[in-house]
Amino acid sequence: MYTGFLHLHDALRWLLLLSLVVTLVKYLAGWFGNQPWKKVDNMLGIVFTSLMDLQLLIGAVLYFFLSPITKMALSDFGAAMKNADLRFYAVEHLSMMLIAVVLVHIGRAKSKKAVTDTGKFRIASIFFLLALALIVAAIPWSRL
């Protein structure tokens, strides 16, 4: 079961990143091109946010129930903090991804409340770019 969830988490990462890049390109074009906010712009945000939430859910199942790496790290947290690989999965990956999810949700909420279309694109773009930076930093590139 662990392997299946891990493969799902890995595969969903690429779909999520693709969704984020497509959404960001559209939002940045809307912001700098002074375009109107359309239904497709809202749908892109919904799809991306939903993928983030799904990825978080799968990651939480891995972290708290299935991963032998986090089980080992959580069994002796002090020793795990001295091991870079264990620390990455036990603390760094989790915390950066949680912050990224929060940024995405803040960006969606604030962009929906923005008065102007340019404001919607600007706010969502800024928060999604910050989330992208954290996501890229938190991906375990050595496992690819």
35-91 confidence digits (pLDDT tens): 999 999 999 999 999 999 999 999 999 999 999 999 999 999 999 999 999 999 999
What pLDDT, in 10s, does the model give residues 76-129?
999 999 999 999 999 999 999 999 999 999 999 999 999 999 999 999 999 999
Cβ atoms of residues 35 and 117 within 8 Å: yes
Amino acid identity, position 79: A
Greatest alpha-carbon span in the chain: 53
Cβ atoms of residues 127 and 106 within 8 Å: yes
pTM, two decimals, is 0.94
